[in-house]
Amino acid sequence: MNAFRTGAIAVCAAAALAVFHSRAAEPANIEQRIDALLARMSLEEKLGQMSQTSFGRLTDQRKEEIRKGRWGSFFNGGTPAEKAEAQRIALKESRLGIPVLYGQDVIHGYQTVFPIPLGQSASWDPELVRQAARIAAREASAVGIHWTFSPMVDIARDPRWGRIAEGAGEDPYLGGVMAAAMTRGYQGDSLASPDSIAACAKHYVAYGAAEAGRDYNSAWVPENLLRDVYLKPFQAAREAGIATFMSSFNAINGVPASGNEFTLRQVLRNEWKFDGFVVSDYESVREMIPHGYAADARDAALKGIRGGVDMEMVSTTYWDHAKGLVDAGQLDPKLIDDAVRGILRIKFRLGLFDGREQPVPASEPRPAPEALAIAGKLAAESLVLLKNEGALPLPKTTGKVAVIGFLADSAADQNGTWAMSGGGSTVTPLAALRRALGEDRVVYAQGLKSSADMSRDGFAPAVAAARNADAALLFLGEEASLSGEASSRAYLNLPGLQEELAAEVAKTGKPVILVILAGRPTTFHAVAAQAKAVLYAWHPGAMGGPAITDALLGNSVPSGKLTVTFPRTVGQVPLYYDHLSTGRPAAETGPTASDKFRSKYLDVSFTPEYPFGYGLSYSKFEYSNARASAAQVKLGGRITVSADVANTGQFEADEIVEFYTHQLAGRAARPVRELKGFQRIHLRPGERKTVSFNLSTDSLAFYDTQGKLATDPAAFEAWVAPDSVSGERVTFTVVP
């Protein structure tokens, strides 16, 4: 058993060695060199550095612009040869020889497509996530990309928001761990290494708090919530040394994020001492006009620069108006120098002034086998088993399987929302199942051509396939285009006629195994009720097919857990595990509640379909003997909370052990639970381990409405638990 996993672990070690082959120290005297350059730069040249556009083609006009220093950076586009030539022109033919910076959306892999970030986070395996980002950096840097617009670290608590696919889910602690892991993966030990790229924490900030889950919509977030939740993963990225930030499209409490002095200057620069640079999102400086915040383009330039956005993406208000603003005495030229300083600093750190090669490979490289092995391992670890009534793994006696649904064989959809460049190596579940079982044991029926297909013509062949098989593997969910940017949905159900198709297949009485590929939590209660097992696969990337197949056949054991709450219905949204209690918490979990005056719904339970942190295994894990190392801990001290976890099932498997706390009373009400740690452990059948979490009272601190960050001396509960709603409770008190 487990040939795939063992193989993957072996190559992963090899890849880890290969990944660190080249190091380069950061160039010396960067600050003096920046000062020297700034002293020689014209205002136009400075504004050029503060301007970014998409590369397009390297026309004569573009060459001339580069000679004149019109653009500090290009993104998304241009062949490696064009990039190399443009860089040569910038270095050799522009007046001051300032290199250009090439950015790109390398979000979940470059040539090697990894699971969407939401899927990656479900692995709860930051080391593997780091390795995936390292591979992406190696592949992107090999074609001359210097900078990725990733990680996307927006906390998302509303699955209607399509961009929930791009982040690590709803929890600020887990989000921070993943943000740091990806930052370290992209940037390596030194930005100057030829295989490192600069990372960009986006979208700063509260973009995921878009009202009603509608993309680009405004966010209203009180400062304590902003600091305790939405800023947390950004702070973690900052602490991991991230080079850049991207300001978001949304307004925060009425002030657009791309002109927001509080978030960009007060928090990012003054409090966090960030010394890289901030790029706007696509035209988000100009968009302060339709926001109703800037009067016109000139005002947008003023508010963007004053706000703290150093580089303007696509719109050209800085180039068009900043000189006039300086000449009129409205804009302090020091702010321009500050902006340029941060941009040049990152260019220096990347080694762009010091001979960093601008590589031109003979052909677009293909994913290396070791990279695909990591993609497979990450896809495998991201799979979340939501239900299993003994149907999985498929019994060895299974003869034929019916594979039903277009998502079983749609490479582009399984690759997910940001698979821009890779994808050629993608193996679909259908292909992998055929390879594993043999062609004659797999009967495929599309059922529907897409979620927009309103014809039922494909139902009869799907039903016939199920009838002639021992099990029906039903692949349902969302196409890649239904999540990601500008892809919000008002309904969370499996779109189109998919639920109807599922009902027809279920009528055959054959065991139905539901595999869902989607970019967000979806609602599928009725379909799940008719299925014997449900496996949630997200958009699992290039190696999703083999990973799903291995899990179905029992060559691997699902171990992923949800990093976002799954609601029963869209009407419960926003629904997240670390909510406050209310003065009238409901006790009942069903719609038949006897006590009316409680915080609940009349028509549906207030609890989720699947809670945060939830995920099953083929094995069984029992938690016992929860204990704290002391009954009291002094403020500033540490306490250890432990439990024993035993594998009492039949399979050797990983278990993700989660650690939560709850403050019972204090200077503000606190969430019913907050994640403070987690560990992915591996246990053989019959094996037992003690899992301990060493907690500093500092990590219990929170911001109050006065902006004060402190830990209360107070009573706490804690759980070492398999998910966010279960586990044995221990208590301790923090004393002054």
Residues that bind ligand NOJ (CB under 6 A): 76, 105, 149, 202, 281-282, 485
- Among residues 203 and 434, whose Cβ is nearest to ligand NOJ? 203
- Among residues 160 and 202, whose Cβ is nearest to ligand NOJ? 202
- Among residues 153 and 297, whose Cβ is nearest to ligand NOJ? 153
Taking the complex as a whole, how short is the minimal distance between the CB of residue 79 and ligand NOJ, in angstroms?
A: 18
Least Cα distance to 624 among 570, 677, 689 occurs for 689
Taking the complex as a whole, how short is the minimal distance between the CB of residue 314 and ligand NOJ, in angstroms?
A: 8
Annotation says 578 is catalytic: no
| Phi, then psi, of 90 in degrees rounded to 5 | -60, -45
Structure token pair of residue 570: 């869209």
DSSP 383-426: -EEEEESS--SPPTT---EEEESGGGG-HHHHH-TT--S--TT-
Structure token pair of residue 106: 């390398």
- Among residues 281 and 478, whose Cβ is nearest to ligand NOJ? 281
Query: What is the number of other CB atoms lying within 10 angstroms of the CB of residue 117?
Result: 31
Taking the complex as a whole, how short is the minimal distance between the CB of residue 471 and ligand NOJ, in angstroms?
A: 40
Distance, in Å, from the CA atom of 218 to the CA atom of 291, rounded to the nearest integer, reads 9
Helix (H, G, I), strand (E, B) or coil at 365: coil
Least Cα distance to 520 among 232, 57, 116, 128 occurs for 116
Asked if 139 contacts 148 with a C-beta cutoff of 8 angstroms, the reply is no
Helix (H, G, I), strand (E, B) or coil at 729: strand
Distance, in Å, from the CA atom of 516 to the CA atom of 119, rounded to the nearest integer, reads 12
Tell me which of 125, 171, 281, 409 is the catalytic residue: 281
Taking the complex as a whole, how short is the minimal distance between the CB of residue 447 and ligand NOJ, in angstroms?
A: 34
Alpha carbon distances (Å) from 609 to 208, 494, 512, 562, 675: 22, 15, 20, 12, 20
- Among residues 73 and 425, whose Cβ is nearest to ligand NOJ? 73
- Among residues 163 and 670, whose Cβ is nearest to ligand NOJ? 163
Taking the complex as a whole, how short is the minimal distance between the CB of residue 494 and ligand NOJ, in angstroms?
A: 27
DSSP 621-660: EEEEEEEES-SEEETT-EEEEEEEEEE-SSS-EEEEEEEE
Whose tokens are 């097992």? That residue is 533
Taking the complex as a whole, how short is the minimal distance between the CB of residue 203 and ligand NOJ, in angstroms?
A: 6
Helix (H, G, I), strand (E, B) or coil at 472: strand
- Among residues 282 and 577, whose Cβ is nearest to ligand NOJ? 282
Distance, in Å, from the CA atom of 70 to the CA atom of 55, rounded to the nearest integer, reads 13
Cβ contacts of residue 126 below 8 Å, gap of 6+? 177, 178, 180, 181
Taking the complex as a whole, how short is the minimal distance between the CB of residue 52 and ligand NOJ, in angstroms?
A: 10
Which positions are catalytic? 281
